[in-house]
Amino acid sequence: MLQQTLTSAPGLGVQFWRLTKPRVVSLIVFTAVIGMLLASPGVPPLATVCFATVGIALVAGAAAAFNCLVEQKIDAAMARTRWRPTITGTISTPQILLFSGAVGGLGLAILWHAVNPLTMWLTLGTFVGYAVVYTVILKPATPQNIVIGGASGAMPPLLGWAAITGDVTFQPLLLFLIIFAWTPPHFWALALYRRHEYARAGVPMLPVTHGEAFTRLHLLLYTLLLVATTLLPFATGMAGRFYIGAAGVLDLVFLGYAVAIWRRYSDALARQTFAYSIFYLAMLFAVLMVDHYLPIAHG
């Protein structure tokens, strides 16, 4: 019995790790850290950055695990999610609830005691927004699920800013708006080439409820909105010339993909657009960071 437990423990650990959606959480944590760096004129306190990063990552992982638990039926119908432990049955519902509660509670405790209460409350609100409002209420009810629910996914840089300053000003709200505008074209690219799976799962994603052509047009329109939103940091003086130059190149490529999808759709093109959208967001925030520490950009 002991030998069996020791042998299965690493496998169980890997299964719990997969439930936290580490690739998604890594982008969340990255944008949160950029928010922390942008909130300070110099280098922010290392201890605060570390505690805030760990706390936000833990809560994000807990929300992802809860999402997997709620969406078992949907995941079973999707090729990209059939491998999840909630589908293979290697982890029980009580185990996932306990894991999510323990990990999320630990993350919130770290934020409360080692960072500041505002960051903890905002992170808790983000958890509820994603795990409950989006996953439980919006996703099965409306094709606008990703537009409304995108607010929770846009919170990380605002959380990072609050962790350093203990306040929320217009600058982190601009970062919030960028991710909020980015989410629909990012996710609709995925929904387009996975539309048959979403239809089979009974999820009212836009391509399922309104058709491919309608979704392609709205992907283009939201990409135009995103491009306009990325101009705001420069227009408000938050970012300088280096940012606007690099952002312009990133925007043009994204817009090129959106126009191509609108005019001559293919599943392969939608896959490429989805992949680029992830690269785009990571690079845009990296450029913001470099611009922040590059005096010539503001000269």
Average pLDDT over residues 8-25: 76
Residues 6+ apart with CB under 8 A from 188: 146, 206, 207, 215, 218, 219, 222
In this predicted structure, the answer to whether residue 78 has a pLDDT above a threshold of 80 is no
Residue 10: Cβ within 10 Å count: 9
What pLDDT score was predicted for residue 8? Answer: 43
Long-range contacts of 252-255 (CB under 8 A, 24+ apart): 253/280, 254/185, 254/223, 254/226, 254/227, 254/280, 255/223, 255/224, 255/227
Instruction: Give yes or no for a contact between 19 and 84, defined as CB atoms under 8 angstroms apart.
Output: yes
Give me the mean pLDDT over the 102-113 stretch.
96
- Domain range list for the chain: 10-167, 169-299
259 has pLDDT over 80: yes
CA distances from 106 to 36, 113, 114 (A): 21, 11, 12
Of 131 and 76, the structure prediction assigns the larger pLDDT to 131
The single-letter DSSP state of residue 134 is I
pLDDT at 83: 67
Average pLDDT over every residue of 181-190: 94
Q: What is the pTM of this model?
A: 0.88
Q: Please name which of 27, 15, 24, 156 lies closest in space to residue 99, comparing C-alpha atoms.
A: 15
Over residues 195-231, the pLDDT tens digits come to: 888 888 788 888 999 999 999 999 999 999 999 999 9
Span 279-299, mean pLDDT?
A: 86
The answer for residues whose C-beta is within 8 angstroms of residue 87's C-beta and 6 or more apart is 72, 75, 76, 81
pLDDT confidence of residue 57: 96
Q: What percent of the chain has pLDDT over 90?
A: 63
- 177 CB-near residues (< 8 Å, 6+ apart): 154, 229, 232
- Closest of 211, 229, 215 to residue 186, by C-alpha: 215
Specify the higher pLDDT residue, 164 or 82: 164
Q: Please give the average per-residue pLDDT across 55-60, as a whole number.
A: 96
Say which CATH topology domain 10-167 has: Tetracycline Repressor; domain 2 (1.10.357)
